[in-house]
Amino acid sequence: MTTEPTAASNGAANAAAARATADARATADAKVDAHVEALHAMVMASLDDDQAVEIISIPLAGKTTIADYMVIASGKSGRQVASMAMKIADKCKTDFGRPARVHGLPTADWVLIDAGDVIVHIFRPEVRAFYNLERMWAFDSEPNKGEPRMGALREAHEARDPASLAGRDPASLAGRDPALGDPRKAG
C-alpha cells in the first residue's frame, strides 16, 4: 500500500525549504556585507593614514548597481595622488585577494580605483573642483538654491506676464522659430 503525501505535509516541507533557503541567503548576504564594509573601512583608513584631504564617502547601495560605496578624496600633489592610489590597490590585492583596477596613474590628476564594491576617486584639488563629483552623486542633498531648474524658469517667466502668454505657441515663448515646433515635445 502506497501512501501519497498530503497537501499539508507538502506545504510544511515547502515552507521549511523556503526558510532554509532564506537563512542561507541571509548568511551569504551578511558575509558579502561584511566583506564590503571591511573593504570600505580599509579604503577610508588608508586615505586617512596617507593624509588625504576632504575624504567623502557616498553610499550607493540601493541607488545604483555599479558599487556599494564611492569614496572621493584629494591629494596635495600628483605624486601623493599616485602614491595613495597604489597603496589602496596593493592592499586590495594583499588583504582581499583580488586586484583593483587603477586608471589615470600616469598623469595622476584624477586616479580611479575600481575595487569592485568600492570605487575610489583621488584628485588633485583643482581637478576635483572642476569635476565636482560630490554634487553629481549627492542623492540626499537639496539642489543648490542659486541654480535654477527649467520648471522654475518657466514658472517665473509665466508669472511675469501671464496675460501675454495666452494662446501663444510655446516655441515662440522661448524665442524659437515656430516652424521648429515645441522642443519639449521632441522625442
For the question of whether the overall pTM of this predicted structure is more than 0.85, the answer is: no
The range of the structural domain enclosing residue 59 comes to 30-140
**pLDDT tens, the chain, 187 aa long:** 555 555 556 666 666 666 666 565 555 455 568 889 999 999 999 999 999 999 999 998 888 889 999 999 999 999 999 999 999 999 999 999 989 999 999 999 999 999 999 999 999 999 999 998 888 877 554 544 444 444 455 555 556 655 555 555 555 555 554 555 555 555 4
In a domain, 160, yes or no: no
Q: Are strands 118-123 and 69-74 parallel, antiparallel or unpaired?
A: parallel
Asked, for residue 53, whether it belongs to a domain, the answer is yes
Q: How many structural domains does the chain have? A: 1
Q: Is residue 174, in this structure, part of any structural domain at all?
A: no
Residue 114 lies in a domain: yes
Instruction: Kindly state whether residue 150 falls inside one of the protein's structural domains.
Output: no
Rounded to the nearest angstrom, the gap between the alpha carbon of residue 68 and the centroid of all alpha carbons in its chain is 8
Residues composing the chain: 187
Q: How far is CA 133 from the centre of its chain?
A: 10
Distance CA 99, CA 95 (A): 10
**CA-wise closest residue to 74 among 121, 32, 144, 35:** 121
Residue 90 lies in a domain: yes
* Residue 132 is assigned to a structural domain of this protein: yes
Cell of 72: 572621493
CATH number, residue 133: 3.30.460.10
Would you give the DSSP letter of residue 61? Answer: T
Long-range Cβ pairs for the range 130-137 (8 Å, 24+): 133/70, 133/72, 134/56, 134/58, 134/72, 137/58, 137/60, 137/70
44 within domain boundaries: yes
